[in-house]
Chain A
Amino acid sequence: MGKKITIEPVTRVEGHGKVTIHLDDNGNVTETRLHIVEFRGFERFVQGRPYWEMPVLVQRLCGICPVSHHLAAAKALDVIVGAPQLSAVGEKMRRLMHYGQIFQSHALHFFHLASPDLLFGIGGDPLKRNVIGVALEHKDLATMGVLMRKFGQEIIQVTAGKKIHGTGAIPGGINKNLSIEERDRFLVGKPGYNIDQMIEWSQAALEFFKSYHAEHRAFIDHFAEFPSSHLSLVREDGALDLYHGVLRAVDANGKRILDDVDYQNYLDYISEEVRSWSYMKFPYLREFGKKEGWYRVGPLARLNTCDFIPTPLAQQEFETFRAYTHGKPNNMSMHMHWARLIETLHAAEVMRDLLNDPDLQNEDLVVKGKKTNEGVGLIEAPRGTLFHHYKINENDQIEMANLIVSTTNNNQPMNVAVEQVAKEMISGQKEVTEGMLNAVEVAIRAYDPCLSCATHAMGQMPLEISLYDANDQLIDRKMSH
């Protein structure tokens, strides 16, 4: 095969995400940066494509939560085709797809990607510290994680047509309903594999986390803890809602700084800053400016902004969670896992309610309306608020596409978390150990195990960490293994 390209050989090894750490003369950390190093150019290359391709095209930014992009795009197109209010079956099939997605992605995030750090310790044997290690030494836990993810993926399959990159959502609705036979695969299922089992396992996972928390309170509470604002969608009555709602933000003390915002007007409230050292932009609330306006999104933010969870078992857990910080916003990064597991339980309860809903067998799949040329679609993706915004021309071609994805919303928080952990662990040290590097990754992993969507980059954070002295001389560079 011919080599078509010549490039200068680069010294860096691999990694879509990378961290640099700068030190002063005393070996103290002065600056850290989390760089996102891949760029796709999506906003430009979709121009000219027919608008209805968006839900199937854009999901290929991220195969970890493709449903989120699929649905955010479809919601923007609902507005464009003049059908923002779907039929009951249209909306409920999409909700089932979405909560299936939340369920599988949260299971993946917790069991496959984060649990090894808890089970083997941050500085544990890096060869063991992965999902295979979990499978070999904690087979029950691994099996539970694998089957929970499978359940969510199969819910996606019957609603979207495929487990990954499906085609279910179309502008104005959905292209299939749920047959009784499909429904019963989940409602009745097999012993050990049905919706009731999933609810039980979600509770078991929560118990696992809570007892881990009880034993490692200092670590879970103080690791990468910092004050910040929090942003998410909430239902109009203040309930947690991951599919639809209005924008709300609270500051570190719980004061509402954004409330009841119709997201069609998101540009009035949110801007993004470009920095030369990362392809991922830095969003902020315009009112508070570039420096002060950043916020967190994701499970922790959602449980900080909402007033209650509209399913009973998750609501109970939510009350315990809220009581832990005396009703104030929870600013502890590692509590992201706690919030994630409460949402996992909530997603299972929502799926059970939807599966029991006869509307899912209705036939009026699509709603038609009067077309406009612009629409915004928002959704709470597993890792946080996701924005899609499109304009079309008179030939139905995309003229403008703007995306702010969940991980981008968490860009500044992840940088803050990295800085904090680096200062605590590395300041004053001459050598970087594997454990220190993994600690930095653990902080990022609480937010997002993968930076895929963010620049449409990918990889479960193979981090490369460089350490510079006061004269900007490289003193140590390590892959995190």
Chain B
Amino acid sequence: MSKPVVATTSLAGCFGCHMSILDIDERILDLIELVEFDKSPINDIKTFSRECDIGLIEGGCCNSENVEVLRDFRKHCKTLILVGECAIMGGLPALRNNIPIKECLEEAYLNSPSVTENEERIIPNDDELPIILNKVYPCQEIVKIDYYLPGCPPRADLIWETLVALIEGRKPKLDYELIKYD
């Protein structure tokens, strides 16, 4: 039997959830015996090369590109797992949801005390930049999600137990210590 294939991505997240995956430490060496990786920021595979069994998503959606990537993951992954607060609820970036995006941009590019010579009042708006969404959206508002791992970030042991259980086709054993938020 061929090994299950795992893909991961970071949308509007801080990468802390990916770091928590790496915090399984020596078990990384076991993991690469158990699964194969496809598209993921930890390797140089940047577009899906095949159908995947498990997709891990970090971060919510703050721009048009995040939405595209998330839909692409849903299309290519049998099981989609949200990893962490940002993916599940928007997280810290969603603190901007009650504020008009214009104000956020002006604060960063016009009002910042270290921007002293922006006479033309430039705010980045190039065609090369994706469209910023009016709000930061949790992933399950955009596509169907199969599992949720809570935490900011979720504990490494929680990520490990979930992956191993899925690979072995059993129910994960989620003790309180593993899933308590912080």
Let me know if A267 and B92 touch, CB within 8 A: no
Given A136-B32, A146-B26, A462-B41: A164 touches B20 (CB 8 Å cut-off): yes
Let me know if A64 and B96 touch, CB within 8 A: no
**Cβ contact of A5, chosen from B37, B112, B137, cutoff 8 A:** B137
Interchain nearest-CB distance for B72 vs A (Å): 8
Residue numbers in A under 8 Å from B9 (CB-CB): 14
A421-470 residues at the B interface, CB under 8 angstroms: 438, 450, 452, 456, 458-463
Number of A-B contacts (CB under 8 A): 254
* Residues of A that sit less than 8 Å from B by CB: 1-5, 7-10, 12-15, 18, 20, 33, 35, 37-47, 57, 60-64, 66, 108, 112, 126-127, 129-132, 135-136, 139, 142-143, 146-147, 149-150, 153, 162-165, 266-267, 270-279, 281, 283, 286, 290, 389, 400, 402, 404, 438, 450, 452, 456, 458-463, 479-481
**A30 and B19 alpha carbons, distance in the complex (Å):** 38
Q: Is B116 an interface residue (CB 8 A)?
A: yes
A143-B26, A402-B112 are known contacts; what are 14 more A-B pairs with Cβ within 8 Å? A12-B130, A14-B47, A41-B104, A41-B105, A43-B112, A64-B19, A130-B44, A142-B29, A273-B117, A274-B109, A274-B122, A279-B124, A283-B114, A480-B44
**A35 and B124 alpha carbons, distance in the complex (Å):** 10
Counting chain B CB atoms within 10 Å of each CB, which of A126, A165, A479 scores highest? Answer: A165
**A20 and B112 alpha carbons, distance in the complex (Å):** 28
Q: Give me the 8 closest cross-chain CB pairs, A-B, nearest first.
A: A63-B16, A41-B104, A130-B43, A44-B107, A277-B126, A460-B41, A63-B14, A60-B92
| Beta-carbon nearest neighbor of B20 in chain A | A164
Residue numbers in A under 8 Å from B105 (CB-CB): 39, 41
Residue numbers in A under 8 Å from B32 (CB-CB): 132, 135-136
Let me know if A146 and B116 touch, CB within 8 A: no
Counting chain B CB atoms within 10 Å of each CB, which of A15, A41, A112, A146 scores highest? Answer: A41
* Residues of B that sit less than 8 Å from A by CB: 9-10, 12-20, 22-23, 25-26, 28-29, 32, 37, 41-47, 59, 62-65, 67-69, 72, 91-93, 95-96, 99, 101, 103-109, 112-118, 122-126, 128-133, 137, 140-145, 152-153, 156, 182
Residue numbers in B under 8 Å from A7 (CB-CB): 64, 67, 131, 133
Residue numbers in B under 8 Å from A275 (CB-CB): 122, 124
Let me know if B109 and A281 touch, CB within 8 A: yes
Interchain nearest-CB distance for A70 vs B (Å): 12
**Cβ contact of B22, chosen from A18, A35, A43, A108, cutoff 8 A:** A108
Interchain nearest-CB distance for A37 vs B (Å): 5
**A389 and B93 alpha carbons, distance in the complex (Å):** 20
Interchain nearest-CB distance for B58 vs A (Å): 8
Residue numbers in B under 8 Å from A462 (CB-CB): 41, 46
**A278 and B19 alpha carbons, distance in the complex (Å):** 26
**Cβ contact of B19, chosen from A164, A281, A389, A463, cutoff 8 A:** A164
